[in-house]
Chain A
Amino acid sequence: MPAIMAVKPDSARSNPDSTPQKRRLRSDTTAAQDSPISTPVKWKSPRTCTTSSPKTPISRVERDCSENITKSHKSPIKKLSDSLTPKQKWNPLDSEQMKAVKEAMHVSTAPPNIVCREGEQKRVLEFCQACVEQEKAGSLYVCGCPGTGKSLSMEKVKQLLFHWASEAGHQQPNVLTINCTSLAKTSDIFGKILGESQPRKKVNGATSPLQHLQNLYSQKPQPSGTKMMLIIADELDYLITKDRAVLHDLFMLTTFPFSRCILIGIANAIDLADRFLPKLQSLNCKPMVVTFRAYSKDQILKILHERLMDLPYTVFQPQALELCARKVAAASGDMRKALCVCRSAIEMVEAELRESSRNFSSSIVEKAFLEQQRATAPDVLEKQEIDVVRLDHMVVALSKTYKSPIVDTIQSLPQHQQILLCSAVKLFRGGKKDTTVGELNKFYMEICKSALIPPVGILELSSICRVLSDQGLLKLGQSREDKSKRVTLCVDEADISFALQGIRFFRNCLQ
């Protein structure tokens, strides 16, 4: 996604077609999605607070997407028929099919239907529609953990808003999408807003862009009817400076009498509006807050199914998908993680296939030499066919994603480094949390003596400490002398005991 994208309303629809894309996106063909219709309010998610909405707003949105109404009427039936007919088997050896599956599961592929976020999208859309109708300014704050579909939903809302505006006869608003990480200075955002609202006018050098905007919004507008401007500011917390002036001024722009801004801010912190914009509350212009909660297990499962629905073959065993959804929902509820784990599982299947083909090719050469050619060959071929991603693939993929490399690394450390970690654990058991290299050396030598291993000298020991601190297992302080550097343990004692429990000496030592 380009950091700054100024979309002119008339080219909004033609944009996807003008730049030739190497992959045909499904979003090209259906400009407005059928989500308001295909997923009715009946579906209740246990987590999101669905606003009890009367029928009228939905039907109005229905009317507005009239061009696709026939298509969207067809699609629920089509989906139903899909689920009734059994799907074909997936052939992972076919590179085309593998590519299609991986594409469907990739994070950057925007799905045609954005499910599980209808409630939030409706709220934002209604807010924008109200602003455009009444030609009033307003501000909205969208918050939620990473990977919960905020930016994706805002894109969708933008498209829906354009459709609705053109259908309802209002002027389509200008849109400015900014990712605040791309700003060199936080106050540059005003320059960009000014550039968007008055593209042809040259900015006067005397007044800053902010002042210009403030003047603009305090005066009565030209009768030619200036359009509303929709500003979507992503990663809003990058605008937080020490004196919080920029953020404040940005939201204050919407409070001016003749302001034309609809401001939507996106960030992760839930209480950003309360903490950093206290003055707005006194003016009674606090932004509306829409929270995108982390996905629950059912939502993740639904989204994964949605992505796989268009493929004509079954790729995953249902238990595998459920395990993935459960694990990710319990950990963070981050959709990107779920997609990453699924792709990782697909790669496990690929690796297994390569391994078996290698074994097979070597074994079939053996067979050719040892036996006569009989009908055993096709049997062997059939035995190694893998056509779904099974539960064990998913288990391996999950463990790879969620396991920390610390235990593996400690187990593969050379002996003296392990003894040093062990002596650090014993030293810090008494309640002390840090010590010097000299003290550690004494403990280390005691342990070496008890194991009848010749200890290394102090020079080697300080270089071992440095190697361990580079890896993040210890933390080494600064000092002029090697011996008086302070040492703390960065790894949990339980991890070290668990990693070293296979060796009897350490087991006894750490008891």
Chain B
Amino acid sequence: MGRENTVEEALNLLRSRLCNPSFVFKPLSDSPDSNYSKLKFIISSSVTEACNNSILLLGPRGSGKIAVLELVLKDLLLEFPDLISVIKLSGLLHSDDNCAFKEISRQLCAEHQLLFSKMASFDDNSQFMIAMLRECGLAHKTIIFVLDEFDLFAQGKQRVLYSLLDAMQSVTSQAVVIGVSCRLDADQLLEKRVRSRFSHRKLLFLPPSKEDLQRLLEHILSLPVDSTISHDYAVEFNAKLQKILADEKFKQIIITYMDSDATVNHLLRFLFRAVSYMDLGSGFLSLENFKTALSNIQRQPKLECIKDCSILELHILVCMKRLEVKEQNSYNFNSVMKEYKSIRASFQMSEYYAWNICLRAFEHLLQRELICFTDNRGQNQSVEFRPAKLLISSHELQQGLKSYRSCPAILLKLMDREV
């Protein structure tokens, strides 16, 4: 009983770690070259030297830009407790000038315990912001503006960006503007006067290297030996984990998975699945967990549909493929039956299915959405006369036939011949 509880506790710990971005990105931030230390240096030097700065964080979605920024801000708030206030805006919500200034004023009021009036006009809000910037500048307090989805702020007249960056051009204000975007050319979207006021600092968030990946996996999946989880269990778990991580097959699995998308977020999703497949009986992770997770993530639903088809349905699909190859762009059930008959005749196949059985097979395919009708109007016509088309590609059909449990050789030959 105690053992089960330990295992469950370990599983919960692992899963909660995988959902916590600040835990995940800590090991990547330890080296001095990392984006974490560069960002921290820039912001802290702006705070201590009381000068304005602006920076852009670029990288694909899920590469940890906001996570690293949160880590940096958390550390800076500990280091300089009264010198920093943070204002967060999002391009999805606040790209309109009125909304943006209102939100800035609201957050400034909340930060400094002032009363915020919803009735304040655009003028009032912008004057308030400028006055606050000046006051904070005199009080040696830095305001950090975090602009998420920065490229959405660059639509329209870019007034918000201009006002913020222009306010930073004066000596009296002390502010840092951090833009976060997934578009690489985010600064090309800016108007030339806004771009001139922007300081052209960019931090690229690239996918982790192989060594970083290894360190990350170890950091996330190793159980802590000195916590509430029993010591012996944790040590054994870690030993088994090390063996898996060193295995060549495991490395191959990770490489195959990361070949399509190399961001950290993508990897975390995979790890979550693999960890959830952990066998609660034995209580340890195994290579099988990772293999199952990979095959479940890289599903191909249409292939699985084909595996469930009957032989007749496969015949119909292959006939439709042949019609498409013969450049008959629109065909209906009748033409498919003609093709089927001609194949049967030329290859002297023995099975014979009645018309209505074939029609039912056709309808099954329609229901499973492997084929569909091309016209949207006609409920008037009956099923046999409406033009239809395939919804799977020939490549997928071929793959499906190959992995079918007892596919008749004739079908494979037919597919190979045409393709």
Contact = CB atoms under 8 A, between A and B. Distances in A.
Given A108-B170, A268-B193, A404-B185, A416 B395 contact: no
A3 B169 contact: no
A181 B260 contact: no
Interface in A1-37: 1-4, 19-23, 25
B206 A2 contact: no
A169 to B, nearest CB: 33
B30 interface: no
A414 B185 contact: no
Interface string B294-329: 000010110100000000000000000000000000
Contacts of B49: 99, 102-103
Nearest to B58: A405
A405 B204 contact: yes
B260 A184 contact: no
A378 B286 CA distance: 56
A1 B166 CA distance: 8
Interface residues of A, number: 68
B184 interface: yes
A443 B126 CA distance: 53
A110 interface: yes
Given A22-B50, A108-B169, A401-B200, A2 B60 contact: no
B134 interface: yes
Interface string B117-157: 00001110011001000100110100000000000000001
Contacts of B171: 21, 23, 25, 108-110
A147 interface: yes
A409 B259 contact: no
Interface residues of B, number: 60
Contacts of A25: 171
B369 interface: no
B197 interface: yes
Interface string A366-406: 00000000000000000000000000000000001100111
Contact of B50 (A19, A23, A107, A460): A23
A458 B51 contact: no
B261 interface: yes
B258 A414 contact: yes
Nearest to A148: B196
Interface in B385-411: 393, 395-396
Interface stretch (A118-126, A280-288, A314-322, A468-476): A468-476
Contact of B206 (A179, A354, A409, A417): A409
A337 B260 CA distance: 38
Contact of A473 (B127, B167, B184): B184
A181 B123 contact: no
B335 interface: no
B184 A268 contact: no
B193 A22 contact: no
B260 A405 contact: no
A445 interface: yes
Interface in A338-358: 340, 344, 347, 351, 354-355, 358
12 contacts: A1-B170, A3-B130, A3-B163, A22-B138, A106-B51, A146-B192, A146-B193, A344-B201, A404-B184, A404-B185, A467-B261, A490-B185
Enumerate the 3 nearest inter-chain pairs by beta-carbon distance, A residue then B residue, closest first.
A146-B196, A414-B262, A472-B183
